[in-house]
Amino acid sequence: MRTGQLQLFIPGPTNVPDSVRQAMNVPMQDMRASDFGDLTLPLFDRLRGLFRTRTGQVMMFPGSGTAAWEAAITNTLNPGDRVLMARHGQFSALWVEMAERLGLDVEVIDVPWGAGCPVADFARHLGNDRKDRIRAVFVTHNETATGVTSDVAAVRRALDECFHDALLFVDGVSSIASIDFRMDDWGVDLAVTGSQKGLMLPPGLGILAVSEKAMEASRTATLRRAYFEFSDMVRMNAGGYFPYTPPIPLLHGLRAALDRIDAEGLDAVIARHRRLAEGVRRGIAAWGLDLIAAHPSLCSDTVSAIRVPQGVDARDVLRIAYDDFHTSFGAGLGPLQGRAFRIGHLGDLNEAMCLTALSVAEMALLRAGVQLQPGAGVGAAQLWFAGPDRAAARLPLAAE
């Protein structure tokens, strides 16, 4: 018998606020009714704000973020097209694998897990590509497996500096609506996200924002697709409809989630993620443990991947947290399995919840055999959240 609530600190699915849960408890309605667009049409416009695009075409496909990846690739590219991608964590690696499976010619740059998108290598490959054979460049904005945020604007500059015409694709699944992301300012052609991370919804929606240039590419792209066909979606969406049955409760939930983000303000949401993440990072540092992120400038504000000391199995930390303390942390993925665990700190979250995460992690680490002073991490985070250094600190957003 477990009492109390499961404490969920995984980087997706994230906690769904009560107002969003209740908004999804609706009787089913007619998705072909004349007033269905009252629900759906405003959502497209509001999602544009979230992607920070004025002209991007927003689409929602039933499915997870992985579905959005597939929709992005199959609608805009052709069999054998050359694309430039980096592998620096589980999600970027899976995106490479999908691109290969779909028949693209992937120029893969492998960098250590914990590094960011290798912009200088990208620039070199683009500069050497005199005939513009590279059709698209893919960037995983926030590598959720390693807790690393990459510099998308720098990739745009690398493209511009060699006058390269490739499309810029961004996986923003664990960044959009929680880390600063600017589709138009950064010249992103196609950005994807999912419902179950920053948007605080259950899984089930793959969301894309597509630039005019990428829409143009979709008109001639010949990779096979059917369910994910952009043109069917765009044509039906124009009237507020979908080419097939949409997940209606999720659309109601999305409206409520966007209400919450609007009420807080997107800039404030992003600043809150930064503030909470900094507290968690200070806690981890106080334990004497290292992040997987190779440099402080790369640290993600939505997830921290923590390396456990030699001789300790991170799977024990996860198991103890779950079995003994009814708390979920994220597992180490791929080669980080057993070597790292992750604290997800995104979505509907506050200081108290972050302190709970650190407190339970301390107990689980202790039981798993890590030497640490109980309360050390919690205390460091408390000082950041409530102490004098917090008041004195300035944490400018990139936007300021």
Ligand X SMILES: *Cc1c(COP(=O)(O)O)cnc(C)c1O
Q: Please give the Cα distance from 245 to 330 (Å, whole number).
A: 33
- Site map (CB under 6 A) of ligand X, residues 312-341, x = contact: ------------------------------
Cα 266–197–171 angle (5° rounding)?
Answer: 85
Only segment of 60-68, 73-81, 276-284, 370-378 that touches ligand X (CB under 6 A):
60-68
Q: Please give the Cα distance from 181 to 176 (Å, whole number).
A: 6
- Site map (CB under 6 A) of ligand X, residues 188-227, x = contact: ------x---------------------------------
Q: Which residue is nearest to ligand X (CB)?
A: 65
Contact 261, 50 (CB under 8 A): yes
State which residue, 71 or 381, has the beta carbon closest to ligand X: 71
Q: How far is the CB of 168 from ligand X (least distance, A)?
A: 16
* Cis check: omega of the bond before 203, within 30 degrees of 0: no
Q: Does 304 bind ligand X (CB under 6 A)?
A: no
φ/ψ region of 130 (left if φ > 0, alpha if ψ in -120 to 50, else beta) reads: alpha
State which residue, 85 or 355, has the beta carbon closest to ligand X: 85
Only segment of 16-24, 167-175, 324-332, 367-375 that touches ligand X (CB under 6 A):
167-175
* Candidate residues 15, 40, 53, 174; the one interacting with ligand X per rule CB under 6 A: 174
Q: Does 12 bind ligand X (CB under 6 A)?
A: yes
Q: Does 301 bind ligand X (CB under 6 A)?
A: no
Contact 319, 326 (CB under 8 A): no
Q: Does 91 bind ligand X (CB under 6 A)?
A: yes
Place of tokens 């089930």: 204
Q: How far is the CB of 261 from ligand X (least distance, A)?
A: 18
* Candidate residues 66, 328, 337, 356; the one interacting with ligand X per rule CB under 6 A: 66
Give 352's contacts (C-beta < 8 A, 6+ positions apart). none
Q: How far is the CB of 197 from ligand X (least distance, A)?
A: 6
Q: Please give the Cα distance from 192 to 66 (Å, whole number).
A: 9
> What phi, psi does 204 have (nearest 5°)?
140, -10
State which residue, 91 or 385, has the beta carbon closest to ligand X: 91
Count of beta carbons in the 10 Å neighbourhood of residue 1: 2
- Beta bridge partner(s), residue 342: 305, 330
Q: How far is the CB of 94 from ligand X (least distance, A)?
A: 7
Q: Please give the Cα distance from 317 to 364 (Å, whole number).
A: 5
* Candidate residues 56, 65, 114, 246; the one interacting with ligand X per rule CB under 6 A: 65
State which residue, 10 or 276, has the beta carbon closest to ligand X: 10
CA 231 to chain centre: 26
φ/ψ region of 295 (left if φ > 0, alpha if ψ in -120 to 50, else beta) reads: beta
- Beta bridge partner(s), residue 82: 105, 134
* Candidate residues 7, 40, 75, 144; the one interacting with ligand X per rule CB under 6 A: 144
Only segment of 61-69, 221-229, 279-287, 337-345 that touches ligand X (CB under 6 A):
61-69
Only segment of 45-53, 63-71, 120-128, 289-297 that touches ligand X (CB under 6 A):
63-71
Question: Where along the sequence are the contacts to ligand X (CB under 6 A)?
Answer: 12, 64-66, 91, 140, 142, 144, 171, 173-174, 194
